[in-house]
Every structure is written in C-alpha cells, then in structure tokens.
Amino acid sequence: MKRRWKLLPRDEDALKLAERIGLPPVFGQLLANRGLRTEEEVERFLFPSLSHLTDPFLMKGMEEGVKRATRAILSGEKVVVYGDYDVDGITSSALLKLFLADCGLEASAYIPKRLQEGYGLNPEAVKEIGAQGTRLLVTVDCGVTDRQEVELARRLGMDVIILDHHEPPEELPPAIVIDPLQRNCPYPFKGLAGVGVTFAFVMALRKELRELGHWRRRPEPNLKRYLDLVALGTVADVVPVIGENRVLLKFGLEELSRTRRPGLVALKELSGLSEGPVDYGHVAFRLAPRINAGGRMEREEVPLKLLLTQDPEEAKRFAEELEEANRERQALQEQIYREAKEMAETLEGEWALVLCSEDWHPGVIGIVASKIAEEFWLPTVLIALDGREGKGSGRSIPELHLRDALKRCSEHLIAFGGHRAAAGLKVLREEVPLFREAFREAVKLSLGERPIPTLYLDAELSLGQIDLRFTEFLELLPPYGPGNPRPLFCSAQDLILEGVRRLGNDTVRLSVREGSRSYEAISFGGFPEELPQRAKIAFHPRTEQWEGYKRIVFEVRDLQEASS
C-alpha cells in the first residue's frame, strides 16, 4: 500500500537548544518531536535514572493499600493475587507473589482461563478463592471495572486491593483502588502498564516495611532484580516508552539481558536470545508471544509457573510447552489471517472493518486484527462467534482512539474495554450488523477524512550529514517503542539507486549515490520488483561491522520515485 510522507514541522527553538547542550542541531528536532523542550526534560530522557521514578505514595490509594498489605504480611493472613492471562497480568502476578515471598508471606496466585472465565474477576473464581479462607484479595492488571465481583468478595469476608491501569468507571468498586487514571489521583505519570503499577506498589510496601524494622529480621529485597518482569509486561502491553516507562524499560531490559531467573533463561534460549543484549523488539516479537501463547491456547497456568520456578529442568519443560503452544498459535493465526484478508478484500470504501466467523479461535483474533489493521490501514475488529454471542478483539491505527470509538457503539455491545490502540468486546450475534454500522459511523465521525497510511519523518537530511559521531548520539535514544519511535529521516534530494542485490527473505542490498559519493543501503521488505533509477528514500541510519571496521548503512523504509 502506497504511503504518504509527512515531514514533522521544523522547530527553530529546538535546534538552538541542541546547540546549547552540545548536540548536533537535528537532535533538537528529534527531541522536540518526542515532546522534549527543556534542558531538564532532555537530560532526564537521554540519561534516565531509577531516581527519576516518582514517589509511589503520590498514587491515590497507595498509603491505604500498603498499610492493609503490611497487616496481612505481619499477621500471616491468607492472600491471593488475581491476575490477567496476558503478559502484563502474568508478570504482575509473578512480581507481587515473589516479593511477598521475600517478605515472608507465601501468597497464592490465580490466573483465570481465557475462554471459560474471560477477563477480570468472575463470581465463581471469587467464591472459590473465598472458600480457601482468603482474607485479602489483590487484583493486578484488572479489577477496576469489576464492581459486582468485588462486592461479592467483600460479602465473603475478603478485603480487596485493586492494582490496575485501565480507565476506571464513574463508580469505583468498594475496594482500595490504586490506579493512576482514577479521578483526583495526583500521580503525574498516567501511562504505566499494570506491571508498572504493581512495581510502584512493591516499592512503597518495601519502604513501609523498612520503617517498621521488618528487614532487620530478613534480607531486604533488591527491587532491581524484578525489573526483568517489569520490562516484559511493559513492552507486551504496548504502553508509551516515555517518562517512567522509559526508566523502567532502560533498566528492565538490562536486567532481562543478564537475568538468572530459570524460566526466562530457558525461554530466551528457545527464542535464540541466550547471547547478547535483549532489546524492545526481542521482547515484542520473540519472548512476549511465547508467554502470551499460554493464555491464547488454553494453557494459562504455564507462563506463571515458568516465571516462578527455581528449578532449571522444570523451567525448560515449561518453556518447551509454551514453544509448542506458540507453534499452534502461529498455525491458527495464519489460517484466520488468510480468511480475514479475503473478507476484507471484498469490501470497498470502508472506514473500518468488522469481520466475523464461527471458525475463528478467540485467543488468536487480536494478533490477526493487528495485521489486518496495518495492512489495510483501517481500524479493525475481528469477532469469533460461538452460539448466541461473539468475542471480539480490535486494533486501531494511530489516528483513532479505539476505546473512545467503541464507547459510541456501546448500546450494541454486551461489554467492552481497552486502550487507544487495542480493545476487547462481547456482542450478541444479532447485534453484529448494527454494531458494524455504528462502528463505521463512529470512526468516520472521529477521523473526519479517510485514513491514509502515513510515514512521519523526523527531518530531511543530506546523507553526508550522517557520520559515526551522529550514530553515537542516536545510541542515546533507545529503548524505542510507542511514543519514542526509531528516528526516521528522508534524503534531502533524489538519489541514484544502483547495484541492487536481492538476498532472499525480502532482503535487498543496494548502493545509493548522492552527488559523487555512494553509500550502502539495505531494506527488509516491501521493495518493488522494479526499482526506479532515481528516488528519495525514507531511512534509519545504522552501523555494521565490515572487514574489521564500522561503517554506516542506510536502512530504507520507503522510497518515492523522482518526478520526471
């Protein structure tokens, strides 16, 4: 699909800021494009520190929640941690359970079955947990919308702490709610994943126990060693890589690279990551899908066991089970993708896609919705029908807040929830046509004009401006991700394309000539069979080792043929 290029507006003040602090001027533009406009903001972005994390006690409900958890620890109460079945929920559950064990309390953990129980608290699970003599129920990455289930837990004699990051309803459940998005919460950063909220709770709880002298009787845990879990959940939940998330990811990815946690060691080995640093892409495309495969393929208990085990042999078995589940998921995903793509190709003039089938597995449709949304550049909802109801999963495009669009269609839905980029829903079969039309109108109203695939370019540069010093400055910008994309530039003039070598797997190497000088370039897919002789390129600068020295290579994302 042809993409338009949009050059982000030049910011003269940002260029001057870069010069004042000793950076190449274009880096001021890069930082301004990421919302950074003061020397202090730039300093914190380029050189993140764990000391930049906000005092967790600023989060509304934190002090009350910590005191209730402290009472449970000191009196040895029965505590259950209730998580979600995705990576964010699994890592949140593992983090809190492991920390409570370090405190001397062996809590239980409950992960609901995706297909049978669905997202969040459910009455049967609450009754089962209550029957075990549980005094304190702590939900992680869920709970803030589960008013009736929390009321049931209270009637059964349980206190409830909710650690969540989803949008709260107008009326909160009767629990201690710790969610930075709740009304009148003074915590300044609102973009934490569920595992980020859980980590803040653990930070606050450790401090409270220190002040009570608890750590004089047992070793005080080093919270850095939990950051591998925080990195996994933060990447998998696709939250913005800015502010506190950037800090957590910077140190979390380092911790994940050297983790000694047996389950992650085994999973990294199966994922081809046993050597070298782990980056955002490794988590997003190798580790997280394998962990998520447990919930998607009805093996919800395996990922948590993988993260908790201290036995390397057991860890290897769990990792292999997830590898098998992931292969099953990939096969199902490919089948559903082919069917959904065929459906989408029969439609014309659409503002949004709502596709459904009785043959689709509800645990896999979210991944397929993401691929279809990107390929057709349309907000997409896939629905797996089963009897009178359907379970749906939606993915958006950058221009649309998906949850807000679904809110406008809520009269046709049993339930829905999610974020800007992704959402889930339940719908009655007979309501699907009405929902499809309402969703199309909601998208049309929100966007105003038909969405066009767009590449947002940070700056226009001559290739000669980019040297090894330039690429060294670029190395200060990762971890990349939503909110901090990898810098994308375009050539200031048309280049001559020559020496094309196709290497298989859609990889193409070529030379690009600017004036009298040639540069090495590479592309990893999407190149046309017939290349123009002259074109502008959209590119990422990168380096590679070549015959014993480091050289610059331009990774081409797109090209625009020169006008004749």
Q: Per-residue pLDDT for the chain (564 aa), expressed as one digit of tens each?
A: 678 999 999 999 998 999 898 888 899 999 999 999 899 999 999 999 999 999 999 999 999 999 999 999 999 999 999 999 999 999 999 999 999 999 999 999 999 988 788 788 999 999 999 999 999 999 999 999 999 999 999 999 999 999 999 989 999 999 999 999 999 999 999 999 999 999 999 999 999 999 999 999 999 999 999 999 999 999 999 899 999 999 999 999 999 999 999 999 999 999 999 989 999 999 999 999 999 999 878 788 999 999 999 999 999 999 999 999 999 999 999 999 999 999 999 998 899 999 999 999 988 999 999 999 999 999 999 999 999 999 999 999 989 999 999 999 999 999 898 888 889 999 999 999 999 999 999 999 999 988 888 899 999 999 999 999 999 999 999 999 989 999 999 999 999 999 988 887 788 999 999 999 999 999 987 677 788 899 999 999 999 888 888 999 999 999 999 876
Closest CA to 536 of 562, 513, 555, 504: 562
DSSP letter (8 states) at residue 104: T
Domain edges within the chain:
4-13+455-561, 53-221, 347-447
Q: How far apart, in whole angstroms, are the C-alpha atoms of residue 19 and residue 26?
A: 9
Q: How far apart, in whole angstroms, are the C-alpha atoms of residue 446 and residue 129?
A: 43
Contact 111, 93 (CB under 8 A): yes
Closest CA to 390 of 410, 415, 370, 367: 415
Contact 442, 408 (CB under 8 A): yes
Q: How far apart, in whole angstroms, are the C-alpha atoms of residue 245 and residue 14?
A: 24
Give residue 545's pLDDT.
85
Q: How far apart, in whole angstroms, are the C-alpha atoms of residue 386 and residue 155?
A: 33
Q: Hey, is 81 helix, strand or coil?
A: strand
Closest CA to 317 of 383, 248, 270: 270
Q: How far apart, in whole angstroms, are the C-alpha atoms of residue 125 and residue 147?
A: 15
**What contacts 206, CB < 8 A, 6 or more positions away?**
99, 220, 221, 223
Q: How far apart, in whole angstroms, are the C-alpha atoms of residue 542 and residue 552?
A: 6
Burial of 183 (0-12, 13-18, 19+ CB in 10 A): exposed
Q: How far apart, in whole angstroms, are the C-alpha atoms of residue 215 and residue 232?
A: 28
Cα–Cα–Cα angle for 133, 98, 226, rounded to 5 degrees: 150
Closest CA to 328 of 289, 356, 301: 289
Closest CA to 399 of 433, 431, 373, 434: 373
- Identify the CATH assignment for 53-221 out of 3.40.640.10, 3.30.2130.10, 3.90.1640.30, 1.20.1050.10: 3.90.1640.30
Contact 355, 381 (CB under 8 A): yes
Largest CA distance in the chain: 80
Q: In what order do the strands lie in the sheet with 79-82?
A: 108-110, 79-82, 136-140, 159-163, 176-178
What do you get for the CA distance between the two ends of the chain, in Å?
A: 22
Q: How far apart, in whole angstroms, are the C-alpha atoms of residue 36 and residue 249?
A: 18
What sections of 283-311 are H helices per DSSP? 288-296, 301-308
**What kind of architecture, by CATH, is found in domain 4-13+455-561?**
Beta Barrel (2.40)
The CATH code of the domain at 347-447 is 3.10.310.30
User: Strand 136-140 to strand 79-82: parallel, antiparallel, or no bridges (unpaired)?
Assistant: parallel
Contact 244, 234 (CB under 8 A): no
Give residue 45's pLDDT.
95
Q: How far apart, in whole angstroms, are the C-alpha atoms of residue 171 and residue 168?
A: 8
User: Strand 79-82 to strand 108-110: parallel, antiparallel, or no bridges (unpaired)?
Assistant: parallel
DSSP letter (8 states) at residue 68: H
Q: How far apart, in whole angstroms, are the C-alpha atoms of residue 350 and residue 337?
A: 19
Q: What pTM did the predictor assign?
A: 0.91
Contact 530, 561 (CB under 8 A): no
**What contacts 438, CB < 8 A, 6 or more positions away?**
408, 409, 411, 412
Closest CA to 145 of 116, 166, 124, 123: 166
